[in-house]
């Protein structure tokens, strides 16, 4: 299966465009010409690499990088700018960018970095959480159904990890919220948990019934 690349173009760069044209021959490639369109695309599919071309990283770009990193563990993020400050470079890396490149750069160099990052794993896998024939790798958000991998979103993975850690027990919606969202000010409505669980059941296909609803309380993960 071809790896997926999203190129977010917010500033014209001949070398970045040439690099994108070069790597598009080997990978499944998508263009976005605004942050709004980029958000739409990352909601629709999970990309292996997101390449962002911008004159100077502004708040919307930094916020997008942070959101993208939260949504998908494995996505690599490269930012190519014409100018920036050391503070903004540090901030981009802190919120989830893997690499910040500053122009002028030859397109061959940009292509090289893209290919190198695509060959790397963003996180080293740790211990698997298992439930019958279903396994979850929380660090990478990979779900395995009889060894068939399914990529989850970060919140989906965190919720399923909570259920798997307390398998065969009743887990209340409040327990899930505390485990996944912690003490942040903006916690979700309990109905939001139900939406996430419906998505998880769809991802789990024939094993979706492993997540059982405990009416009025929460959920319980039990092997079929």
CATH numbers and ranges of domains, the chain: 4-118 (3.40.50.2300), 129-221 (1.10.10.10)
Supply the pLDDT for residue 125.
52
Range 198-203, long-range pairs (CB < 8 A, 24+ positions): 199/156, 200/152, 200/156, 200/159, 200/160, 203/143, 203/150, 203/152, 203/156
pLDDT by residue, tens only, the chain of 224 residues: 578 999 999 887 777 777 777 777 788 899 999 999 999 999 888 899 999 999 888 899 999 998 888 787 678 999 999 888 888 888 888 888 888 888 887 888 888 888 888 877 554 456 788 999 999 988 888 899 988 889 998 889 989 999 998 899 899 988 888 788 765 545 678 888 999 999 999 999 999 999 999 998 999 999 87
- Strand spans (E) along 60-141: 76-81, 99-102, 129-131, 134-137
| Three-state DSSP class for residue 79 | strand
Sheet (strand 134-137) strand order? 129-131, 134-137, 142-145, 148-151
Q: How far apart are CA 30 and CA 56, in angstroms?
A: 22
Distance CA 93, CA 78 (A): 10
| Cα within 13 Å of Cα(113), Cβ side | 20
Tokens read off for 117: 């990052």
Q: What is the pLDDT of residue 123?
A: 47
Residue matched to tokens 């094993």: 207
Per-residue pLDDT at 187: 64
3-class SS letters over 146-191: CCEEEECCHHHHHHHHHHHHCCCCCEEHHHHHHHHHCCCCCCCCHH
Report pLDDT for 124: 46
């Amino acid at each position: 299966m071809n790896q997926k690349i999203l190129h977010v173009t917010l500033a014209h760069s001949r070398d970045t465009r040439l690099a994108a044209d070069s790597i598009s021959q080997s990978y499944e490639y998508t263009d976005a010409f605004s942050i709004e369109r980029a958000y739409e695309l990352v909601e629709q599919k999970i990309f292996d690499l997101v390449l962002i071309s911008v004159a100077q990283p502004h708040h919307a770009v930094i916020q997008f990088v942070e959101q993208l990193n939260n949504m998908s563990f494995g996505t690599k993020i490269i930012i190519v700018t014409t100018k920036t400050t050391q503070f903004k470079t540090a901030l981009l890396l802190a919120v989830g960018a893997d690499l910040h490149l500053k122009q002028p750069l030859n397109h061959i160099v940009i292509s090289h970095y893209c290919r190198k990052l695509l060959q790397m794993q963003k996180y080293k896998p740790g211990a698997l959480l298992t439930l019958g024939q279903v396994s979850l790798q929380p660090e990478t958000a990979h779900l395995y159904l009889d060894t068939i991998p399914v990529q989850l979103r970060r919140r989906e993975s965190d919720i399923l990890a909570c259920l798997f850690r307390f398998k065969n027990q009743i887990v209340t919606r409040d327990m899930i919220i505390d485990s996944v969202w912690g003490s942040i000010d903006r916690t979700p409505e309990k109905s939001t948990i139900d939406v996430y669980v419906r998505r998880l059941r769809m991802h789990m296909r024939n094993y979706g019934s492993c997540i059982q609803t405990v009416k009025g309380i929460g959920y319980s993960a039990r092997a079929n």
